[in-house]
C-alpha cells in the first residue's frame, strides 16, 4: 500500500501546489519540498525495516506487492511491486527531487504553481515506472512523465527551448509507441499459447514464442529504452534537451529519466527475452563501447558547458549498456552502482552549471575562466565532481566503472579494452572543463558571489553521498543482490564457458 | 406499425416532432433564448427516449430498420453530441447578424438524419437518412450567408455532396440490379454462397465507396474538408465532425458486416490503402496549418483512418473498439470546438493559432480544457483518446495487421507534433494586462464553460477508469 501512497502523494502534492500557486508564489515550493521529504522518510524507513531481510540474502527478491483490478476485460491490473533495485532507484528519485526543488528555489521567477506541478508529476511518472509490474501500467507511467517534462523544457527552458522540447518529446514518444506495439504483440502471443489474456509481468515471463517473433518484440522494447538511455545512434535529442532545460530539468533528465531506460532493459528486456538478448549482446556491447568513446570525444569538443556535461552522460551510459549485456554479477552490480553515482555526479555538475548560468548569464566556456579566485568553494566542489566523473578511486563512480569493466572483461576481452580507454578520455574532458571554467586568466567582470547557504547545503549532501558510495558501497550491493542473482540465473552457461577459455 | 415499433423508434419520432414544434414556436415569435431552451429540453427528452428501448435486441422493423445495441449506442452518442452543439450554439449565434432561430429546426433535422443512418438496414433508409442529414447541412454550413467563407463552404459542400450522392445512388442501383434486393439482411443470404464477388456488385460497391468516402472525408476524397470546416459556423463544424461522420461510419459498418466484405481480398486492399493514405496524408497536411479549424479538419481525416484500422480486421474486437473510439473522439472534438466557440467574438471566429498565445495565463480553465482535448486527440495517457488508441491497436494487432498498426503509430507521432504546437502556443507569451473584458452573455458563457468542464472530466474519467464504458460496449456485435 505504501507504493500507492507514494504515487498518490506526488500527484496530490502536485495538484495542491498548482492550485495554491494561483494565489501565492512561495507556498508551492514549500508544499513540494514537504511532499518529497515525507516520501523519502517513508522510503528510507522502509529500507531500514527490510534491510535485515535483505542482508540475510534470502532468494525472494520482492519486498512488497500490491495488486488490484483496473481494466479486467483486458486483463490489466494496477500491479505495483518493488525489489531492491526499484527501492534504490525510488530513493534516488525522491532524493534528486528534493535537490531539484532546492536548486530551482531562485531560478524560477514565474508560474510557480504550474512549475512545481510539472516537477512532481514527472517524479510521479518516474516512480510509477520503477514500481509497475503490469506492462500496460508501465507504459502508462512511461508516457505520463513525458508531458510535464515537455512543459518543463518548453516553458522554463532557455532560448532554443521549443525546438529542444519538441525533439525530446517526439523521440521518446515515437520509440515509446513502438514499445507499446511490442507490449500488445506480447500480450496476444501469450494469449495464443496459454489462452489467458493478461498484461501482468509475472505471467508474461517465460512466454513461449518463435525466435523470429521474440527478436522483433525485443527490438520494440529495446528501441524505447535505447532512446531514453541513450544508446549511440539514438542520442541526438539528449544534448538539446539537457542544455535548454532549466537546471532542475537537466538534473531530472540526467539523474532519473536516463535511468528509466537502463531499468527497463534490466527489468523487461533481459527477463522477457533471454535467448534473443544473448544473441543480441555482442552488438549491444559494441554500441555501448562506441557510445563511451564517441560521447567522450564529443564532450571534449563542446564549447557549451551544459552540452559538454550532456555528452559525458552519453559516455557514462555506454558503460551501463556494456555492463548489462555482460550478464554477470560483477558487471550488473557495477551497473546499479553506475546508475546511482552517475545520477549524483552528473546531477552535481548540472546544478553547478545552473549556478554559473545564474551568475554569469552564459553557458559558453570561452566566456568563463579564472573563476576559482572569485568562488573557491565552488571550484573545490567542481574539482571533486570532475574527479568523480573521471573515476577517481574513493569516489562512487570508480567502484561502478571498475566493477563494470571487471565483469565485461570476463565476457568480452576485445570490447573491454577500448572501453577502458574511455576512462582516459573522460579524464581529458573533465580536466579541460575545470581548466576552462575555473583556471586560466581572470576576466574583468563584476564581482561574483560564491555559494549561498542553500547552495552549500545542496552540494554538501551530494558530496557526502558520492564519497559514501565510493567508500562503503556494501549496502547498495546487498540491496540489489537478489534481483541481480535472478538475472544471472537466466544466463547461466555462457560465461562459464568463456571463463574457462 | 405496432406499438412496439413505435416505442423502438421513439428517439427518432421525438426528434422529428421537435423539429415541427420548434417551427411552430418560431411562428409564434418566441425569443432566441426561449427557443434555445425549449430545444435543449427536447434534445434531453429524445436522449432519454434512447434509454427506454426495450430488450430484447436486435429488434427488426422490416424492411427498413434494425435496432440493436450498436445502433442504440450510436443514436445516443449522436443525440448527445447534438445536445452539446445546441448548448454552445447560443453563445455563438446570439448577436450575429442572422436570425438564429431556424438554426435549431435544422439541427433537429440533421440529427434525425444521423440517427436514421445508424438504424438503417436498407438502401432506402440509408439514402433517406443521408439526404435528410446532408440537405440540412447545406443550410447550416451557409447559415451566416453574408459572410464570404460561409457561402464558399456552403457551395462547396452542396456541389460535392450532391455529386457523391449521385455516385452512391448509382452504386446502389447496380447492386440492386445484381442481387435483386436492397435489404442488408437479404443481401447476406444471397451473398453467403458466392465464392467471389460478381463484377457488377463490385462496381456498384466501388461507386458506393466513393460516395461514402466523400461523406467521411477519407483520402482521396478529402479535398472539401478543410474549406468546409473553416467556413462553417464553429458549432456546425463540431456537428459535421461528430454527428455526420459518426452516422455515416455506423451505416458503413453495418453494410459491410452484412455483405461480409472481409472475405473479399480486393475490397480489403482498397480499404487498407484508404486507411494508410488517410492516416499519413491527413497528418502531413495538418502539420503546417495556421488555422485551428483547418488543422482539426485534417486531423479528423487522420482519425477516420485510425477508425478504419479497427474496422479492417473485422474481428470480435472491432465493433467495441470503434464504439469506444467514436465515443472518445466525439467528446474530445466537441470539447475542442466548444472552446473555439466560446472564445470566438462577434465578428470573427478565434481560429488563427496566434490568437491563442498566452491563453493559459489569461484563461487557465479554458486552456486546461483545450489542452486536455488536444492531448486526448493525440492519444496521451490519462485521457480517453489513449484508451481508444489502445483499443484500436489491439483490434489491429490481434488479427496481425502489423503494417496498419505501424503506420498508425508513426503517423500519430506526426500528429503529436501539431497538437503540441497548439499547446505550446497556449503556454507561450506573457499575460496580457487587460484580459478582463466584459462577457456579453455571462450566464450562457458560464453554462457553456461548465458543460465543457464536465466533458473534460468525462474524458479524464474514461481515460483513467475505462472499465465502465468497456463493459457497456464489450459485447456489441452486429448480428
Gap from A170 CA to chain B (nearest CA, Å): 7
Asked if A15 reaches chain B (Cβ–Cβ under 8 Å), the answer is no
CA distance B432 to B442: 21
Cell 485521457, residue? B383
**CA-to-CA distance for B436 and A189, rounded, in angstroms?**
57
How many Cβ pairs closer than 8 A exist between chain A and B?
A: 69
Do residues B353 and B343 lie in contact, with contact meaning Cβ atoms separated by under 8 Å? no
Partners of B470 on chain A (C-beta within 8 Å) are 71, 73-74
Global ipTM: 0.88
- Mean pLDDT computed over B131-135: 93
- Cα separation, A469 vs B377, in Å, equals 46
| Cα–Cα distance list, B213 to A140, B164, B170, B209 (Å) | 35, 9, 15, 6
Q: Which residue of B381, B405, B413 is in closest CB contact with A143?
A: B381
Model confidence pLDDT, tens digit, residues B1-28: 788 888 888 999 999 999 999 999 999 9
Residues contacting residue A251 through CB under 8 Å, at least 6 positions apart: A96, A99, A100, A103, A347, A350, A351
Cα separation, B37 vs B90, in Å, equals: 9
Which three-class secondary structure state does DSSP give residue B291?
strand
Report the C-alpha gap between B472 and B479 in whole angstroms.
Answer: 17
Q: How far apart are CA A308 and CA A361, in angstroms?
A: 17
In this complex, which of B405, B406, B424 lies closest to A162 when CB atoms are compared?
B424
Q: What is the pLDDT of residue A59?
A: 65
A450 secondary structure, DSSP code: -
Q: Does A160 touch chain B if contact means CB atoms closer than 8 Å?
A: no
Rg (CA), chain B: 21
Q: From A167, which residue of chain B is nearest by alpha-carbon distance?
A: B417
Which among A71, A154, A173 has CB closest to B466? A71
DSSP string for residues in B248-273: HHHHHHHHHHHTTGGG-HHHHHHHHH
Chain A residues with CB inside 8 Å of B375's CB? 147
DSSP H/E element including A70: strand A64-71
Give the pLDDT confidence score for residue B16 in this predicted structure: 94
Q: What is the pLDDT of residue B457?
A: 94
Is A128 an interface residue toward B (CB < 8 Å)? no
B338-356: average pLDDT: 85
pLDDT, one tens digit per residue, over A12-48 is 999 999 888 888 888 888 999 999 999 999 999 998 8
Angle formed at CA B207 by CA B206 and CA B208, multiple of 5 degrees: 90
Question: How many other CB atoms sit within 10 Å of the CB of residue B54?
Answer: 10
pLDDT at B373 over 90: yes
Distance of CA B33 to the CA centre of its chain: 27
Question: Which residue of A177, A187, A209 is the best one to mutate when testing the B interface, meaning the one whose CB has the most B CBs within 10 A?
Answer: A177
Contact between A397 and A473 under an 8 Å Cβ cutoff? The reply is: no
Contact A173 B417 (CB under 8 A): no
Taking CB atoms and an 8 Å cutoff, what residues of chain A touch B398? 188
Cβ of A177 under 8 Å from any chain B Cβ?
A: yes
| Closest CA–CA distance from residue B429 to any residue of chain A (Å) | 9
pLDDT tens series, chain A, 501 aa:
788 999 999 999 999 998 888 888 888 889 999 999 999 999 999 988 888 777 766 667 788 888 888 888 888 999 999 888 999 999 999 999 999 999 888 877 778 888 999 999 999 999 999 999 999 999 999 998 888 999 899 888 888 888 899 899 889 988 999 999 999 999 999 988 888 889 999 888 888 888 898 999 999 999 999 999 888 888 889 999 988 899 899 999 998 999 999 999 999 999 999 889 988 999 999 999 999 999 999 999 998 989 999 999 999 999 999 999 988 888 999 999 999 999 999 999 999 998 888 888 888 888 887 788 888 888 889 999 999 988 888 888 999 999 999 999 988 888 899 998 888 999 999 999 888 888 877 776 667 777 788 888 899 999 999 999 999 988 888 888 888 888 888 887 554 444 433
pLDDT at A478: 87
The reply to whether residue B417 touches residue A166, judged by beta carbons under 8 angstroms, is yes
* Residues with Cβ within 8 Å of residue B162, at least 6 apart in sequence: none
What's the rounded mean pLDDT across residues B291-307?
Answer: 93
Backbone angles phi, psi at A229, to 5 degrees: -60, -50
Q: What is the mean pLDDT of residues B339-365?
A: 84
Mutate to test the interface with B, among A77, A173, A216, A220 (most CBs of B within 10 A): A173
pTM score of the predicted model: 0.91
Residue-wise pLDDT for B218-267, tens only, equals: 988 988 999 999 999 999 999 999 999 999 999 999 998 888 888 888 88
Q: CB contact, 8 Å: A74 with chain B?
A: yes
DSSP letter assigned to residue B53:
P
**Residues of B at the A interface (Cβ-Cβ below 8 Å)?**
361, 364, 375, 380-382, 386, 390, 393-394, 397-398, 405-406, 409-410, 412-413, 416-417, 420, 424, 427-428, 465-467, 470-471, 474
B221–chain A nearest CA distance, Å: 29
Amino acid at each position: 500500500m505504501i507504493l500507492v501512497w507514494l504515487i498518490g502523494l506526488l500527484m496530490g502534492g502536485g495538484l495542491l501546489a498548482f492550485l495554491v500557486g494561483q494565489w501565492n508564489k512561495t507556498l508551492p515550493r514549500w508544499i513540494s519540498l514537504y511532499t518529497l521529504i515525507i516520501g523519502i522518510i517513508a522510503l528510507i524507513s522502509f529500507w531500514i525495516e527490510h534491510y535485515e531481510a535483505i542482508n540475510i540474502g534470502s532468494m525472494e527478491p520482492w519486498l512488497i506487492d500490491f495488486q488490484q483490478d483496473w481494466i479486467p476485460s483486458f486483463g490489466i491490473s494496477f500491479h505495483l511491486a518493488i525489489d531492491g533495485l526499484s527501492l534504490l532507484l525510488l530513493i534516488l528519485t525522491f532524493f534528486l527531487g528534493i535537490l531539484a526543488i532546492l536548486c530551482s528555489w531562485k531560478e524560477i521567477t514565474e508560474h510557480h504553481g504550474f512549475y512545481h506541478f510539472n516537477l512532481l508529476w514527472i517524479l510521479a511518472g518516474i516512480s510509477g515506472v520503477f514500481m509497475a509490474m503490469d506492462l500496460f501500467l508501465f507504459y502508462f507511467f512511461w508516457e505520463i512523465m513525458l508531458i510535464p517534462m515537455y512543459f518543463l523544457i518548453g516553458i522554463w527552458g532557455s532560448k532554443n527551448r521549443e525546438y529542444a522540447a519538441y525533439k525530446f518529446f517526439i523521440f521518446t514518444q515515437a520509440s515509446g509507441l513502438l514499445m507499446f506495439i511490442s507490449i500488445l504483440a506480447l500480450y496476444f502471443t501469450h494469449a495464443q499459447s496459454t489462452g489467458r489474456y493478461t498484461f501482468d509481468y509475472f505471467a508474461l515471463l517465460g512466454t513461449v514464442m518463435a525466435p523470429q517473433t521474440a527478436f522483433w518484440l525485443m527490438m520494440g522494447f529495446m528501441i524505447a529504452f535505447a532512446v531514453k538511455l541513450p544508446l549511440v545512434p539514438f542520442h541526438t535529442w539528449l544534448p538539446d534537451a539537457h542544455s535548454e532545460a532549466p537546471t532542475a530539468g537537466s538534473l531530472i533528465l540526467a539523474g532519473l529519466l536516463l535511468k528509466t531506460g537502463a531499468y527497463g532493459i534490466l527489468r523487461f528486456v533481459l527477463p522477457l527475452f533471454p535467448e534473443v538478448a544473448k544473441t543480441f549482446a555482442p552488438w549491444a556491447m559494441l554500441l555501448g563501447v562506441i557510445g563511451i568513446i564517441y560521447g567522450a570525444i564529443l564532450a571534449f569538443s563542446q564549447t557549451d558547458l551544459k552540452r559538454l556535461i550532456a555528452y559525458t552522460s552519453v559516455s557514462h551510459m555506454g558503460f551501463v549498456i556494456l555492463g548489462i549485456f555482460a550478464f554477470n554479477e560483477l558487471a550488473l552490480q557495477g551497473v546499479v552502482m553506475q546508475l546511482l553515482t552517475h545520477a549524483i555526479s552528473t546531477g552535481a555538475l548540472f546544478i553547478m552549471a545552473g549556478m554559473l548560468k545564474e551568475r554569469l548569464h552564459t553557458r559558453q566556456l570561452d566566456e568563463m575562466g579564472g573563476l576559482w579566485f572569485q568562488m573557491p568553494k565552488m571550484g573545490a566542489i567542481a574539482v571533486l565532481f570532475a574527479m568523480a566523473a573521471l573515476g577517481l578511486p574513493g569516489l562512487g563512480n570508480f567502484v561502478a566503472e571498475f566493477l563494470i569493466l571487471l565483469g565485461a572483461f570476463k565476457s568480452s576481452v576485445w570490447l573491454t579494452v577500448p572501453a577502458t580507454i574511455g576512462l582516459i578520455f573522460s579524464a581529458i574532458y573533465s580536466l579541460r572543463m575545470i581548466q576552462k571554467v575555473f583556471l586560466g586568466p581572470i576576466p574583468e567582470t563584476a564581482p561574483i558571489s560564491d555559494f549561498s547557504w542553500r547552495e552549500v547545503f545542496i552540494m554538501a549532501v551530494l558530496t557526502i553521498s558520492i564519497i559514501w558510495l565510493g567508500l562503503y558501497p556494501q549496502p547498495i550491493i546487498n540491496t540489489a543482490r537478489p534481483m541481480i542473482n535472478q538475472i544471472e540465473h537466466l544466463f547461466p552457461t555462457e560465461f562459464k564457458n568463456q571463463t574457462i577459455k | 406499425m405496432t406499438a412496439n415499433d413505435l416505442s423502438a423508434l421513439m428517439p427518432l419520432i421525438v426528434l422529428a416532432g421537435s423539429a415541427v414544434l420548434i417551427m411552430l414556436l418560431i411562428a409564434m415569435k418566441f425569443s432566441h433564448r426561449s427557443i434555445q431552451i425549449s430545444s435543449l429540453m427536447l434534445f434531453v427528452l429524445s436522449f432519454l427516449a434512447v434509454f427506454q428501448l426495450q430488450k430484447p435486441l436486435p429488434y427488426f422493423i422490416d424492411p427498413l430498420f434494425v435496432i440493436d445495441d450498436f445502433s442504440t449506442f450510436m443514436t445516443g452518442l449522436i443525440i448527445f453530441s447534438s445536445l452539446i452543439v445546441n448548448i454552445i450554439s447560443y453563445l455563438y449565434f446570439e448577436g450575429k447578424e442572422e436570425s438564429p432561430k431556424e438554426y435549431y429546426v435544422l439541427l433537429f433535422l440533421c440529427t434525425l438524419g444521423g440517427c436514421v443512418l445508424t438504424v438503417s438496414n436498407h438502401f432506402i433508409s440509408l439514402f433517406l437518412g443521408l439526404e435528410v442529414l446532408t440537405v440540412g447541412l447545406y443550410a447550416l454550413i451557409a447559415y451566416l450567408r453574408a459572410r464570404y467563407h460561409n457561402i464558399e463552404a456552403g457551395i462547396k459542400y452542396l456541389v460535392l455532396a450532391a455529386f457523391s450522392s449521385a455516385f452512391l445512388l448509382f452504386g446502389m442501383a447496380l447492386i440492386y440490379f445484381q442481387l435483386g434486393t436492397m435489404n442488408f439482411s437479404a443481401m447476406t443470404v444471397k451473398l453467403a454462397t458466392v465464392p467471389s464477388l460478381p463484377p457488377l456488385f463490385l462496381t456498384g460497391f466501388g461507386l458506393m465507396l466513393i460516395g461514402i468516402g466523400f461523406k467521411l472525408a477519407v483520402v482521396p476524397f478529402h479535398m472539401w474538408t478543410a474549406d468546409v470546416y473553416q467556413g462553417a459556423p464553429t458549432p456546425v463544424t463540431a456537428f459535421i465532425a461528430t454527428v455526420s461522420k459518426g452516422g455515416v461510419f455506423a451505416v458503413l459498418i453495418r453494410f459491410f458486416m452484412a455483405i461480409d466484405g472481409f472475405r473479399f481480398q480486393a475490397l480489403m486492399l482498397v480499404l487498407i490503402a484508404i486507411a494508410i493514405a488517410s492516416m499519413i496524408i491527413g497528418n502531413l497536411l495538418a502539420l503546417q496549418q495556421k488555422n485551428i479549424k483547418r488543422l482539426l479538419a485534417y486531423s479528423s481525416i487522420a482519425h477516420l483512418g485510425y477508425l478504419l484500422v479497427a474496422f479492417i480486421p473485422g474481428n470480435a474486437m472491432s465493433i467495441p473498439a470503434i464504439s469506444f473510439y467514436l465515443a472518445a473522439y466525439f467528446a474530445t472534438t466537441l470539447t475542442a470546438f466548444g472552446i473555439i466557440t466560446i472564445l470566438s467574438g462577434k465578428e470573427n471566429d478565434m481560429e488563427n493559432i496566434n490568437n491563442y498565445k498566452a491563453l493559459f495565463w489569461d484563461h487557465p480553465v479554458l486552456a486546461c480544457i483545450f489542452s486536455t482535448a488536444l492531448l486526448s486527440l493525440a492519444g496521451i495517457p490519462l485521457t480517453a483518446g489513449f484508451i481508444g488508441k489502445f483499443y484500436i491497436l489491439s483490434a489491429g494487432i490481434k488479427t496481425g495487421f502489423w503494417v496498419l498498426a505501424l503506420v498508425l503509430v508513426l503517423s500519430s507521432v506526426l500528429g503529436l507534433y501539431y497538437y503540441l504546437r497548439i499547446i505550446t502556443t497556449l503556454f507561450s507569451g506573457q499575460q496580457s494586462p487587460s484580459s478582463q473584458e466584459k462577457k456579453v452573455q455571462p450566464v450562457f458563457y458560464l453554462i457553456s464553460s461548465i458543460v465543457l468542464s464536465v466533458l473534460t472530466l468525462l474524458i479524464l474519467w474514461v481515460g483513467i477508469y475505462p472499465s465502465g464504458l468497456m463493459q457497456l460496449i464489450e459485447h456489441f456485435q452486429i448480428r
